[in-house]
Amino acid sequence: MSEAGETSGFDIHKILKALPHRYPLLLVDRVKSIELGERIHAIKAVTMNEQFFQGHFPGAPIMPGVLQIEAMAQAAAILGIETLELAGTGKLVFFMGIDNAKFRAPVTPGCLLDLEVEFLQKRSRVYKFKGRASVEGKTTSECEFTAMIADPPAS
């Protein structure tokens, strides 16, 4: 692992190098700050153009809580990939478990969703994280989750 050190954020181009996700499932738009080996603060700009708002819910659009957790997981994946210097290697970060998920407030179009994730535990290829999503300082969801670094499935 790299030594812990705070790095200023980075844009969508660097995010695309770290993550395999693409539209419509890429849920991180910007990284505000990253402290390698420790934590990340990323942003998801929530717009009315999101596909999920067509059905969740017409006339009262709310971002699904599971997608808030996915956004936190993608931020965690960036943290892990950058910490381990794996960008461009094809390695993937797979969910293994979600614990203590809580949904506190709705997320609606026009919000900037702050994604704050930190390492809780690190073991060879398996990592545990704590995540919090918020809008203007108000928690919208939070959880702990476990993920592993792996090679992509054989094709």
Q: Which residue among 13, 21, 41, 56 is the active-site one?
A: 56
Say whether 21 is catalytic: no
Amino acid at 64: P
Instruction: Check residue 15 and give its pLDDT.
Output: 95
What pTM was estimated for this model as a whole? Answer: 0.93
Contacts for 19 with CB less than 8 Å, ≥ 6 apart: 26, 28, 74, 77, 78, 81
Instruction: Check residue 6 and give its pLDDT.
Output: 67
Q: Mind listing the pLDDT tens digit of every residue in the chain (155 residues)? A: 444 566 777 899 999 999 999 999 999 999 999 999 999 999 999 999 999 999 999 999 999 999 999 999 999 999 999 999 999 898 999 999 999 999 999 999 999 999 999 999 999 889 999 999 999 999 999 999 999 999 988 87
CATH number of 6-150: 3.10.129.10
